[in-house]
Amino acid sequence: MKAIVTDSIGRRRVSLHPRHGFTLVELLVVIAIIGVMVGLLLPAVQAAREAARRMSCQNNLKQMGLALHNYHDTHRVFPPGVVNPRDPNPNGANGSGVPAMGANWAAFILPYLEQQAHWEGVMTIVQERPEVVDWYGHGVYVNRGITVGSQPLPAYTCPSHPSADHQMANGTAMEHLGRGNYGANYGKGGYGRVHTGDGRVGGPMANNGKLSMTDIRDGTSNTLMVSELKFRVTGANRHQDTRGTWAYGAMTASLLTTRTGPNSPVPDGVWGCRSEPAEGMPCIQIGSPYTENYSAARGYHPGGVLGTLADGSVNFYSESIALDIWQALGTRAGGEAPRTE
């Protein structure tokens, strides 16, 4: 070994093109430089991935906007936020056979999102069980091949949301509802018709609402129609959390308000949630009265949420948006002068 080393050193000395190995210092410098470059590149790659996911979410919102417009073309009104015969409080009626909470806006636009099979499932359940929502995803129907509600639909799922394959299971018979990421705008007030019936407060959709374009007096370009919602990813009680459930027409499941800003630190006031501030999902229980339920738009995009306006356009709203502008966007006939920041 020694002889060879000596030999090679000797050869190097006489060579016209000197060759030598790398010293530790040189190696460390190279590694440091590579480390810095990777450090610069990785966030960029992650940002590009999020940008792609965001585009997919934007596309979903655009499709919902188109579907809602097609619904409007057919029926001359936007769909109700939810059919709710016991407005505003269907609590305690679920599973009892008493008509409680029915189909929501996301169900009504299924045929316009090329989900005809799911829509027929809705109609089958509506005819057999007027209390409807209890039976979405219920084993009784799933066994017959009617899976409406029990699965997340790609059209209602934003890929920016961390994936979680669980379903809601809060013990109120709506056990098997699949998760979703979009909510119809109920305006700057709350859940009940006391808020949504008033155009100065309510949005373009409401409980049992039959609102048309002409009711949107603020202008369709100044009124939010659909925005984003989160559902719980971690925690033992995540199954009991109703937030982010596409087929369930309750506040924060598939409905939201602009009462609090995008990704607001204010806890959502809803029935059937378990607060999780660490996930950016604080909430308090507001069950009496149910009319006062409210929920912020929440999403996983850095810095804000996406939303579809009533004219079908999709925009990004910064969470730093002045609250009065956001609330003005939420109302359908608030009479606010359009204002940007």
Partner 1 sequence: MFDRIDNLFKVFPIIALGLLSLSVGCGPGDRVEVYPTKGVVLFGGEPMMGGGAISFVPIDSQAGKAAGGTVDKEGNFTMSTYDPGDGSMAGKFRVVVMQSTSDEIETVGDTDIEGAADSEAEAESTVPVAKRIPFTYADPANSPLTVEIKPEGPNELTLELSK
What residue ranges bind partner 1 (CB under 8 A)?
23, 25-26, 28-29, 32-33, 36-37, 39-40, 43, 91-92, 94-96, 134, 138-140, 169-173, 175, 188, 239-240, 259-261, 263-267, 269, 271-272, 275, 277-278, 282, 284-288, 292, 302-303, 318-325, 327, 341
**Distance in Å, CB of 105 to partner 1, minimum:** 23
Nearer CB in complex with partner 1: 10/171: 171
Partner residues linked to 268 by β-bridges: 283
For residue 205, CA distances in Å to 101, 211, 222, 338 come to 16, 7, 15, 20
Nearer CB in complex with partner 1: 105/218: 218
Phi then psi for residue 305, to 5 deg, are -130, 160
Enter the DSSP assignment of 252: T
Is the Cβ–Cβ distance between 193 and 265 less than 8 Å? Answer: no
Nearer CB in complex with partner 1: 60/293: 293
Q: How many CB atoms lie within 10 A of CB 311?
A: 15
Q: How many CB atoms lie within 10 A of CB 336?
A: 15
**Distance in Å, CB of 167 to partner 1, minimum:** 10
**Distance in Å, CB of 178 to partner 1, minimum:** 15
**Distance in Å, CB of 36 to partner 1, minimum:** 4
**Distance in Å, CB of 285 to partner 1, minimum:** 5
What does the alpha-carbon distance between residue 138 and residue 142 come to, in Å, rounded to a whole number? 6
Nearer CB in complex with partner 1: 156/271: 271
**Distance in Å, CB of 323 to partner 1, minimum:** 5
Q: How many CB atoms lie within 10 A of CB 200?
A: 16
**Distance in Å, CB of 113 to partner 1, minimum:** 28
Instruction: Record the tokens describing residue 187, joined without a space.
Output: 């305006």
Q: In sequence order, which residues have a C-beta less than 8 Å from that of residue 20 and are 6 or more positions away?
A: 12
**Distance in Å, CB of 67 to partner 1, minimum:** 30
What DSSP line would sit under 125-137, residue for residue?
Answer: HHHH-TTGGGGTT
Segment holding 304, helix H or strand E: strand 304-309
Give the CA radius of gyration of the chain.
27
Q: How many CB atoms lie within 10 A of CB 44?
A: 9
What does the alpha-carbon distance between residue 186 and residue 48 come to, in Å, rounded to a whole number? 33
